[in-house]
């Protein structure tokens, strides 16, 4: 993810609105970070994970329900504007979708699908913002390495609950009511 090279003022939402449609923009600590739309392998992982979680958790089919699960929601979290690959809100905290095009309520769960161009920003810049905003769980899914890391926030720090790799079949908080096939989340 590239930071604006000659930025002399804090980035604003107008900077995001001025980006071409094929570019995703985020503002982290006043700096505009941009990256192209996800590559196919990234998109496959995100789409399949959404499919696995939506039925049982968002729609309550074959699972407990009680969640909103969304692809690439725009989060306005104080001065930061983030676009995670997936995010989920417990319906008890977010009973209805906002009327705005973004969310100012931090999600309960976020999944970042790592790619070579975004991994450093996802880990070093976005994880601290998610902790500050009291997101309870973060997953880091790497479709290239075929890994899934599950983190739970404890106070203002992240605790790694589990790291899975390869063909593992996992139960991962907060969606441990179902099994996920890690291999199925790759584009193979």
Q: Which residues, including other chains, have CB under 8 Å from residue 51's CB and lie 6 or more apart?
A: none
CA 41 to chain centre: 16
pLDDT at residue 187, rounded to an integer: 66
**For residues 155, 117, 168 and 51, what is the CA-based torsion angle, rounded to 10 degrees?**
90
pLDDT of res. 120? 95
> pLDDT in tens for each of the 188 residues of the chain?
555 555 678 999 999 999 999 999 999 999 999 998 888 888 999 999 999 999 999 999 988 999 999 999 999 999 999 999 999 999 999 999 999 999 999 999 999 999 988 999 999 999 999 999 999 999 999 998 999 999 999 998 999 999 999 999 999 999 999 999 999 887 66
Q: What is the pLDDT of residue 8?
A: 74
The pLDDT value given to residue 46: 93
Q: State how far the Cα of 149 lies from the Cα of 32, in Å rounded to an integer.
A: 27
Q: Which contiguous run of DSSP H or E holds residue 40?
A: helix 40-53
What phi-psi label fits residue 60: left (phi over 0), alpha (psi between -120 and 50 degrees) or beta?
left
């Amino acid at each position: 993810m590239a930071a604006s090279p000659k930025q002399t003022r804090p980035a604003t939402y107008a900077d995001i609105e001025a980006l071409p449609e094929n570019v995703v923009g985020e503002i982290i600590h006043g700096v505009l970070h941009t990256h192209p739309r996800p590559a196919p392998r990234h998109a496959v992982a995100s789409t399949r994970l959404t499919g696995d979680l939506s039925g049982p958790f968002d729609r309550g089919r074959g699972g407990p329900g009680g969640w909103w699960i969304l692809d690439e929601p725009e989060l306005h979290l104080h001065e930061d504007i983030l676009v995670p690959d997936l995010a989920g809100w417990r319906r008890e905290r977010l009973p209805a979708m906002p009327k705005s095009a973004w969310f100012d309520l931090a999600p309960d769960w976020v999944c970042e699908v790592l790619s070579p161009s975004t991994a450093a920003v996802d880990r070093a810049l976005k994880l601290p913002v998610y902790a500050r905003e009291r997101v309870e769980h973060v997953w880091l899914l790497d479709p290239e390495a075929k890994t899934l890391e599950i983190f739970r926030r404890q106070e203002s720090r992240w605790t790694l609950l589990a790291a899975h790799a390869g063909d593992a079949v996992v139960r991962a908080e907060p969606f441990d009511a179902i099994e996920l096939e890690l291999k199925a989340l790759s584009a193979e």
